[in-house]
Amino acid sequence: MPYTSDVAAAEALNDSYKKLTSEISKVVIGQDETVRLLLTAIFCQGHCLLVGVPGLAKTLLIQTISGALHLSFNRIQFTPDLMPSDILGSETLDQERNYKFIKGPVFANIILADEINRTPPKTQSALLEAMQEYAVTIAGQKFSLGRPFFVLATQNPIEQEGTYPLPEAQLDRFMFNIWLDYPSYRSELDIVKSTTNDERYEVQKVISGEEIQAYQHLVRRVPVVDNVIEYAVKLVHKTRPNTELASPDANQYLEWGAGPRASQALILAAKCNALLNGKYSPDIEDVRAVALPILRHRIVRNFKAEAEGISVEDLVKRMM
């Protein structure tokens, strides 16, 4: 959709964001922060990993967001016997005995990868190519995926038996690692009231794929002053133990720190966070607002931190 200026586009994005959150709140109650981060990732062309115990509406949240967007949506339930071809598609013989490629569920704009850690690395790596390259390779032939394309994956942190933890390289591809906690007492009262009656809420479609792509380009054009970029890069360097800018906590409690993708994600997400809050340029507070879900899955604690019960969240907050 053409706009007279980037300021007009920024105002349109802010307006669309308010409409989206209003539509999503009809179905999903008490997850405002999670909705903000998910929509931020979408406008930044990033992927999200949602971690939470069963029953916190992770799947419902993603389905509701896809319902508010004019985008195609597919859900993939990951299981130990899932093969790459079950995700990507495969070649079959048609009636004339010619090979024909049948597209798999990955050929959609939004992919819900449900319980992604329940499938073996071979299948996880098939999704990795799609996330990074926006294309898949079948029988030596490359097929491009439609844009926009987002992978929103879920994980259950409780039951680890029979699971395949995501490797660090694949975790790094996710822009945000969003931790869903139990709802507050008041929120749970509202959830029970709204879900135990016979009413069904219709979520209206708010934004088209073309608008999302326009907003993604807009986010990248947002100007950032040098001191904000320096703060973001310095924050990432603080997480790297035994380096020049490492914090004392990193040297004492971390095995590995975050890589350059974290610095890029911090600035992109800070730009989007500023726009969603009606500002035209991010400040240090915008970087802090997105730092935890960006760094949470990119730093690795050592044995000392685990033994003393010091969490990743504690370490990130100290470094900020």
For 229-276, how does the pLDDT look when each residue is reduced to its tens digit (9 = 90+)? 999 999 999 999 999 999 999 999 999 999 999 999 999 999 999 999
Inform me whether the pLDDT recorded for 313 exceeds 60.
Answer: yes
Please tell me the distance from the alpha carbon of residue 195 to that of residue 197, in angstroms, as a whole number.
6
Percent of the chain with pLDDT over 90: 47
| pLDDT at position 53 over 70 | yes
Mean pLDDT of 109-137: 87
What b-and-e string marks burial along 65-74, b requiring 16 or more CB atoms within 10 Å of the CB? bbbbbebebb
Mean pLDDT throughout 18-36? 88
d(CA 294, CA 40): 12
Mean pLDDT of the chain: 89
Verify cis geometry, omega within 30 degrees of 0, for the bond prior to 148: yes
Q: Is the pLDDT of residue 79 over 60?
A: yes
Instruction: Give the pLDDT confidence score for residue 180 in this predicted structure.
Output: 86
What H or E segment, with its residue span, contains residue 131?
helix 121-133
Structure tokens at 191: 């959830």
**Residue of 313 and 97 predicted with greater confidence:** 313
pLDDT over 70, % of the chain: 98
Task: Taking residues 34-53, report their average pLDDT.
Answer: 91
Q: How far apart are CA 242 and CA 245, in angstroms?
A: 8
